[in-house]
């Protein structure tokens, strides 16, 4: 993991080779293949071990406050090595759909499930309008953040994240 982490600070996922990882880690390539079926799986393992931060809701806060905290946390990540690697994994996934599937299943779906649960709770408590579609709400916020990151639009900062969440939530707040 150290070798992958260090190498990805110097080069892209596409340019990374298992030979370089093995050499940097001082192991043979067969050792890498013993634990990971290929480069994408190894990068995903490092991604989860080193770059993904746990995002949890804060009890007692509104859904909008929790979504804003998650959005600003993601923005901080997108502006660092996490953003570089996730963007490169998405790019790799264009020619290897297994990479996108793994990224979605192991990273995105887990977070969406937690946030969907929070949204459903907010609907039950009357914080959000009945009929609010959790998937559309999440796509509106987090899809926008990933789009800005992937297309190189700046600034992608915490103020943008807070304004985005406020704007999106204004359309679904229970009246």
Query: 40-81, pLDDT tens digit by residue?
Result: 889 988 888 887 776 666 777 889 999 999 999 999 999 999
The tens digit of pLDDT for each residue in 116-151 reads 999 999 999 999 999 999 999 999 999 999 999 999
pTM of the model as a whole: 0.85
Q: Does position 175 have pLDDT exceeding 70, yes or no? A: no
Nearest residue to 128 via CA among 140, 144, 145: 140
Q: Does position 169 have pLDDT exceeding 70, yes or no? A: yes
- Chain-wide mean pLDDT for the chain? 90
Integer Cα distance of 85 and 72 in angstroms: 18
Residue 55's pLDDT is 61
């Amino acid at each position: 993991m150290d070798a992958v982490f260090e190498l990805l600070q110097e080069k892209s996922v596409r340019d990374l080779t298992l030979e370089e990882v093995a050499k940097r880690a001082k192991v043979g390539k067969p050792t890498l293949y013993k634990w990971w079926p290929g480069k994408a799986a190894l990068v995903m393992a490092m991604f989860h071990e080193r770059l993904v931060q746990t995002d949890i809701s804060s009890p007692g806060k509104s859904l909008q406050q929790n979504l804003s905290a998650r959005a600003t946390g993601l923005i901080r990540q997108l502006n660092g090595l996490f953003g570089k690697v996730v963007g490169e994994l998405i790019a790799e996934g264009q020619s290897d759909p297994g990479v996108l599937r793994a990224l979605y299943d192991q990273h995105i779906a887990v977070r969406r499930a937690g946030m969907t649960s929070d949204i459903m709770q907010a609907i039950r408590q009357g914080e959000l309008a009945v009929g609010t579609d959790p998937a559309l709400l999440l796509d509106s916020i987090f899809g926008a953040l990933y789009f800005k990151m992937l297309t190189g639009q700046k600034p992608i900062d915490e103020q943008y994240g807070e304004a985005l969440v406020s704007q999106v939530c204004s359309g679904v707040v229970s009246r």
